[in-house]
Structure 1
C-alpha cells in the first residue's frame, strides 16, 4: 500500500507526467478507503510554487451523462473554496474558460439559480490549476465507458489536469465487451455457421465444444482484442497500479477509529482477532461489507447493553460473529437475503443442521456455514432472529429484541441446558461416556413424557435411529417409535400450533422411508389439532364483533381464520343469538361469508359440520315461528346455504 501511495504522489509531483493513472482492484477491496484514509490527504499536502494542491473526488456511480460529471466537478470546485464562492458572481467577462465549465454552465442549475443567466466572473474559472481530480466507480457509470475516458482525456491533454481513476478493470473490460452483445453474437454466429472448419468441429462427436462455445470464443477473438477501451487506455493511462490491499492493516485501522471512551469501541478493539478471522473465512476480501457489518453490529449493540451485564457478556461475542458472517453471506450474494428468514431461533437452525447431515439431499449449506464460521468450540453457533431481521430488512424490531433477550437469558443464564437439547441437536460430541449415557437416558425420559416440543420429535427419531445403527442404544426400532408416539400425545397439552412446520422439514426425502413417513404423520396430525385448538379468548374476541362490526368479522374470517374450523369451537347458541340481531343487509353478508368460506376449503368444513347442523336447526325453528317477512326469506336462504354446504361434505 505504501508503494502504491508513493507512486501516485510521484505522479502528481511530476510536471512532465501528461497522462492519467489508474488504481485497479476488486470491488469492496478498499480502494476508496485507501483514498479517504491517507492518499487524499497526502495529495492535499503537496505544494507547487508555494500553493497547496486541492484534490477533487468524483464518484461516477449511476452517472447518466457527461454533463452530470461536469456539474459534479463544478460543484466540488465551488464548495472547496469559500473565497471563490464569495467572489465568483462579482463581475462580467473573463478570459478563456475550460471545456468543463462550458459544459457545466450550459443549462446547468445549482442551488436554485440558473448559471447560464447569471453574471459570472469567468476569470476565476480560467483553469483547474492546482487541482487533482479523482474519478471513482468508473465501471458503475451508466454512460459509454469510452465516452467517459474520452472526456477525461480532454481534461488531461488540454487542461493538463492531474487525474486518478479508481476502478475494477476486469469488470470494466467485461462491460465494454458485452455492450451490444446481441449484435456481436449474431455476427459471431454468422461467421461460425459459414466457417467449414467450425462446422466440422461441431459435427465431430468426440469434440466437447458446442455451437455456443464456438460463438463465445469467436466473440472474444474478434471483439475482445480490438475493443475501443484498449485503444483509449493506451492513449490516456500512463500507469496502472494494481491494488493488493493489506486487509489485516485496513481492519486494524478501521477498529482503531472506534472510540476508546465507549463500551462498543472497547469491545470491538478487544475482538480484533475474531473480526479478522471471520473476514478471512468469508473469502470475500470485501472491506465495504465489513464496514457495513460493523456499523450494523454497533446499532444492535446499543440495544443490548441495557440488559443484564452477565447476559451481555455472554452474547456480545456470538452476536458479533453472527452479524459479520450473515452479512458476508448475504451482501456478497453468496445466498439469497431470505436464506435465514424462516428460522425463528437457535434450535431451529441446529435442527436444520442435524437434518442436513442425516436425511436431506443436495447442498448442506447450514452445515458448511457452521463449519466455516464456527470451526472451534469457543463460540457457539447461536442464532439471533432480531439481528437476522435487521440485516435483511434494515428495521430494528425492539419488541423482538426484548422477547429474544428474555429467551436467551433463560437458556444461557445459570440454568443448565436440558440434556435432550444437546442430544437432539447433535451437540453431544464433547461429552465423555458417562455424561453421554446420562444425557441419553434423560433425553429418552423427556421424550416419553412429552416434555420436548412436538416439532423436534422427528429430529429425535433421526438421532435415536442413528444411535441404534451404531449400537450405542439398547432399544429396538419398535421401542423407539413407541417412545416417540407416546411423547407426541403427551406434548399436546402445552403445545401451540407451528405455522412453519413444512419449512422445518423442507428437503427431507420421505419417499422411501416408511418410518419417517409414520412419524411425520403423527406430528402433522398433532399440528392440525393444535391449529383448531384455539383459546376461548380468541373465539370470544372474534364472535363479539357481531352484530355491531360484521365488516371486521368478515375481514378476520377471510385473512386469519379461513382454514381454521372456527365454528367447531364456538358457542353455537350464542352465535345464533347474535345472528338474529343482524340487519337484513348484514345477514346477506354473513351468508356470503359462509359461501366463500367453504367454496374450496373442505378440510375446514369437516371440523365445522356438526355445529353448522345445529346452527341450521336453530335457524329453521326461528323461521317456523316468524310470519312472512323479508328477514324470514333471508334467514331461509341462509339455512339452505348451510344445508347445501353440509351436503357437499356428506
Structure 2
C-alpha cells in the first residue's frame, strides 16, 4: 500500500486532543487525492465534515456546505436556499444561527469531527485569506483539519509560504495507486451487460500497464476511459461478444488511444484529425506498448475520431467495419479478403488463394475502382516480396490493360473516381477498411493511375467544352449553367472553379454566340461576369480567353452596326466581359511587389506555414532543420532585399509569398488558414503572366512532398526526386517543370 503511512499518521493525528496544526495532503490533479480521502472517510464513519471548495466564492457558501455535510438529512439545497430562511429554520432545530457558526461550529456538535477541505487551489476566494479563515478553526477552536490541494498551484500565490508555516504542521505527497482506484472505478459502472466480470476484471493488468506506459498519473483519465468504454461496449461490442480476440484487440486500441489523447499525444491527435489518412491506423509506431507486428485499429480512423473525440458512436458504420475485419473470416469470405490477412495463412492456403485472386484479376472481375486498386496493390506487394512468381513488367502491363479496359467498358467513371479522390470524407488509401499494400511498385501504380486520370479528365473537359458551345446553339440554358456555375453536387465534375475557358474553340464559340438569341446570350454573359471574384483566383488566368473573345465581339460590332444580334452581343456579352476583366484586374492587384514593411512578417509566415502544413510529410527534426523556430531576422532581411518576393495580401494581411527569378520559382508559400481559397492560384497566375511577358517558355520549381500535388494540379511534371541535406537531416523534394 503506497499511501499506508498517510493513513497511519492520520489515525494518530485525529486522536490528538489539540494538535494546533493542519495536515496537508498534496498531489497533482487526478493523482487520486480525492479517491484516497473518500476511502479514508469510510474509516471515520460520520465523524467528519467534508467541504469541496471548488468554485466557492464566499464564506457563506462554506458555512452552508458545513450545514449540508454535518446534517444532510436536515440541511440540503432545498432547505437552505437563502441565508435568511436558513436562520429561521435552524433556530427551531439546533438553537444556533449562521452568525454563530462563523465563530464556532459547536452548535452543530462538530467539536468531535474532523474538518476536511478539498480543492483548496480551486476556490475563488483569495488563498491567503481562505487559509487564514481555516486557521481560525485550528488555532482558536482546536479543530483537526485535513487540507487537500495541488500545492504547485498554491505556490504561485504570494505569501502562501508564510501562512503555510503557521497553519500546516505536516505535509504528505500523495502517490497514485491505480490498482485500488481501478477496482473502485469498476464499482461505479452500471454493469448492465456484465462488462465488469466478463471483460474489465480480466483485462485489469493490461489496462493498467497501458495506463502506466502512457505516463499518465491522472486517475480521472483512467476513470473516464472506463466509463466511456462501458458505453461503447454496451452499444456496439456486446453484439460481438463471441469474438473474444476482436473484443480484446479493440479494448487495447480503445484504452491506448484514450490515454494518449488525454496525454495530448500530438502524433495520435494528428492521425485522428488527418482527413486524408488511411481508414486503417497502424499502432506499430507506439513501440512502448509492445504490440504484436500486424496489430491494427480494426475500426476506420474516422470512426475512432468520432468515438474518442466527439463521443459519437455511429453503430451502423462501426458494425460494418467489424463484420469486414479478419475476425469474421469464414468459408464464405472471398479469396482477396482472406489473402489480405496473409500473415495468418499456411503456405498451401496462401498459394491457393493467391492463384484464385490472380485468375480473377486476369479476367478483370474487380470492377470497383478502389477494389481494383487494392487487389493490384496486393499483387504488386507479393511480387516485390518474391511471394508471387511473375515478372514485374508482365504484371504491370496486365494492370494497365485492365485499368484502361474498365474505363472503356464504362465500369469506371471519371467523375466517380474524382469524387473519391477529392472528397475529404472518403479516403483513397484503403478498401473496406483494409489499407492498400504499400511498396515501391505501388508508388509506380499510383503515378500511372494519376496520369491516366489526368488524361481522362482532359478528355472529358474537351467534350464538356463542346457541350458549352452546343448548349448555346440549342439555347439550353440549364446545361450551360450546370457546366459553368455547378450543380452543388460533389459527384458531378463542373467548371465553376476550374480554369478551362482558355482551351475552348473561340472561333466556334463566337460564331455560335452571334447566331443564338438574346436570352441565351444573357445567361452566358451573366455566368461569365459572376465567375470571377475573391477566393476564385484560380480562374483569373482565363483573362486570356476573355480578352480574345472581347476583341472578336468588338470587331464584329464595328462592322455590323444596326443589327439586333449586334445590339444583343454588345449588351449581353461585351459589357459583361468588360466587367469580368475589370474585376480580375482589381483583384490581381492584391499580388504586390516586395514591400520592406513586411520584412519581419515574411520569415514568421514561412516558419508558421512549414510547421503547420508540412508536419504530415516531414518529422519534427526535419521541420526544424528546414525552418528553425529561432528566426534570424537579419539573414532574412538580406535575402529579401535580394530576391524581392511577390506578396499575397488579403484584407491588408500577408497570407502568402513567392520568390521568382529567371525561370525558377522559389519559396512558394501560403498561410495554412488560407489554403484552398485561391491564394496559391493567384500567386502562380501572377508568375505565369510575368513569365509570358518575359517570353519564358518553361518554369522550374523544387516542390516539397506537401506542395507537389498543388504544382501537379497546375500541369507541372516531375523530373526527379531529390534528397537535400540540412543540419544532418535529409529532406525530400521534387524537381518539376511546366511548359508554358
Structure 1 545/556 Cα, relative in aligned 2: closer, same or farther at 3 Å? farther
Query: How far apart are 1:28 and its partner, in Å?
Result: 2.5
**Which of 57, 77, 89 lines up with 2:66 in the alignment?**
77
Q: 2:421 matched to which residue of 1? A: 498
Contact 1:446 1:452 in 2 (8 A): no
Q: 1:18 matched to which residue of 2? A: 20
Q: Distance in 1 between matches of 2:446 and 2:199?
A: 47
Structure 1 25/297 Cα, relative in aligned 2: closer, same or farther at 3 Å? same
In the alignment, is residue 601 of structure 1 matched against residue 602 of structure 2?
no
In the alignment, is residue 280 of structure 1 matched against residue 197 of structure 2?
no
Q: 1:368 matched to which residue of 2? A: 285
Contact 1:370 1:381 in 2 (8 A): no
Structure 1 288/637 Cα, relative in aligned 2: closer, same or farther at 3 Å? same
Residues 23-48 of structure 1 show CA distances to partners (whole Å, capped at 9, x for unaligned) of: 23344232222233x223433523xx
Q: 2:51 matched to which residue of 1? A: 56
Q: 1:123 matched to which residue of 2? A: 100
Q: 2:258 matched to which residue of 1? A: 327
After TM superposition, list the pairs within 5 Å mapping 1:219-258 onto structure 2.
Answer: 232-258=163-189
Q: 2:88 matched to which residue of 1? A: 90
Counting matched residue pairs gives 512
After TM superposition, list the pairs within 5 Å mapping 1:382-397 onto structure 2.
Answer: 382-385=298-301, 387-396=303-312
Q: 2:316 matched to which residue of 1? A: 402
Contact 2:211 2:222 in 1 (8 A): no
3-state secondary structure, aligned to 1:90: helix
After TM superposition, list the pairs within 5 Å mapping 1:468-487 onto structure 2.
Answer: 471-486=386-401
Query: Per residue, is there more strand in 1 or in 2?
Result: 2
Q: Distance in 2 between matches of 1:371 and 1:419?
A: 35
Residues 454-494 of structure 1 show CA distances to partners (whole Å, capped at 9, x for unaligned) of: 66888888876775665444234434543554455466635
Q: Distance in 2 between matches of 1:376 and 1:392?
A: 24
Query: How far apart are 1:331 and its partner, in Å?
Result: 1.0
Residues 32-66 of structure 1 show CA distances to partners (whole Å, capped at 9, x for unaligned) of: 22233x223433523xxxxxx3222323xxx5xxx
Query: How far apart are 1:293 and its partner, in Å?
Result: 1.8
After TM superposition, list the pairs within 5 Å mapping 1:30-49 onto structure 2.
Answer: 30-36=32-38, 38-46=39-47
Q: 1:524 matched to which residue of 2? A: 450
Structure 1 419/291 Cα, relative in aligned 2: closer, same or farther at 3 Å? farther
Contact 2:118 2:147 in 1 (8 A): yes
TM-score, normalised to structure 1, is 0.60
Structure 1 446/390 Cα, relative in aligned 2: closer, same or farther at 3 Å? same
Contact 2:63 2:101 in 1 (8 A): no
Structure 2 portions without partners, runs of 5+: 431-438, 468-475, 504-508, 585-688, 690-713, 715-739
Higher mean C-alpha deviation, range 308-317 or range 267-276: 308-317
Query: How far apart are 1:320 and its partner, in Å?
Result: 3.6
In the alignment, is residue 298 of structure 1 matched against residue 235 of structure 2?
no
Residues 344-367 of structure 1 show CA distances to partners (whole Å, capped at 9, x for unaligned) of: 89x7325xx4xxxxxxxxxxxx32
Q: Distance in 1 between matches of 2:146 and 2:456?
A: 66
3-state secondary structure, aligned to 2:36: helix
Contact 1:450 1:486 in 2 (8 A): no
In the alignment, is residue 433 of structure 1 matched against residue 347 of structure 2?
yes
Q: 2:571 matched to which residue of 1? A: 633
Structure 1 518/10 Cα, relative in aligned 2: closer, same or farther at 3 Å? same
Q: 1:592 matched to which residue of 2? A: 529
Contact 1:56 1:77 in 2 (8 A): yes
Query: How far apart are 1:68 and its partner, in Å?
Result: 1.7
**Which of 290, 297, 304 lines up with 1:381 in the alignment?**
297
Q: 2:647 matched to which residue of 1? A: none
Residues 272-291 of structure 1 show CA distances to partners (whole Å, capped at 9, x for unaligned) of: 23254133124224321122
Q: Distance in 2 between matches of 1:422 and 1:301?
A: 27
Contact 2:87 2:98 in 1 (8 A): yes
Contact 1:89 1:121 in 2 (8 A): yes
Q: Distance in 2 between matches of 1:124 and 1:455?
A: 74
Q: Distance in 1 between matches of 2:245 and 2:517?
A: 56
Contact 1:139 1:145 in 2 (8 A): yes
Contact 2:138 2:145 in 1 (8 A): yes
Residues 349-405 of structure 1 show CA distances to partners (whole Å, capped at 9, x for unaligned) of: 25xx4xxxxxxxxxxxx323487274488x86312557523345435264xx32342
Structure 1 393/528 Cα, relative in aligned 2: closer, same or farther at 3 Å? farther
Q: Distance in 2 between matches of 1:279 and 1:604?
A: 60
3-state secondary structure, aligned to 2:272: coil
Q: Distance in 1 between matches of 2:359 and 2:150?
A: 61
Q: 1:342 matched to which residue of 2? A: 274
> RMSD of the alignment, in Å?
5.8
Query: How far apart are 1:92 and its partner, in Å?
Result: 13
Contact 1:23 1:31 in 2 (8 A): yes
In the alignment, is residue 166 of structure 1 matched against residue 139 of structure 2?
no
Structure 1 21/599 Cα, relative in aligned 2: closer, same or farther at 3 Å? closer
Structure 1 605/230 Cα, relative in aligned 2: closer, same or farther at 3 Å? same
Contact 1:44 1:54 in 2 (8 A): no
Contact 1:255 1:269 in 2 (8 A): no
Query: Per residue, is there more helix in 1 or in 2?
Result: 1
After TM superposition, list the pairs within 5 Å mapping 1:577-588 onto structure 2.
Answer: none
TM-score, normalised to structure 2, is 0.53
3-state secondary structure, aligned to 1:22: strand
Residues 238-277 of structure 1 show CA distances to partners (whole Å, capped at 9, x for unaligned) of: 23333334422321232233345x21x4466533232541
Q: 2:654 matched to which residue of 1? A: none
Contact 2:63 2:102 in 1 (8 A): no
